[in-house]
Amino acid sequence: MLATLWISLSEFVRNEYLLKSYWTSHYSQLGLTFPSAPVNGAIWGVWSLVFALVIFVLARKFSQWQTTLLAWVIGFVMMWLVIGNLAVLPFGILPAAIPLSLLEAFLATWIVRQFQRK
């Protein structure tokens, strides 16, 4: 649950404070409204829980770095490929989102591994 909390907080800060203008501008150019209703936040909470569970399973078999990279590809790269294909990914976020998402996955993996050792 602590990893889920970290992931949720990281996602919220990155997408609501650091990158929100990229998202809203891109969606506006598409004639869409960026989805930020409470139900969207709830879905991101579910995504955070599932991402933490994926990390939990991977961390049982792989090292810190292997788990981080596998989780990052599963959680972020796959998502960016899909939303990029749907033309709703503002590519301008990637220079910030890539390192921040790697940090998110690394720290979530670290948190999970600390509890798995006990």
What would the pLDDT profile of 72-84 be if each residue is shown by its tens digit? 999 999 999 999 9
Which own/partner pairs from 28-35 qualify as long-range (CB within 8 Å, at least 24 positions apart)?
30/87, 30/88, 32/88
Spatial distance between the Cα atoms of 114 and 118, rounded to a whole number of angstroms: 7
pLDDT in tens, 9-33: 999 999 888 999 999 999 999 999 9
Domain that holds residue 39: 2-116
pTM of the full structure: 0.90
Number of domains the chain contains: 1
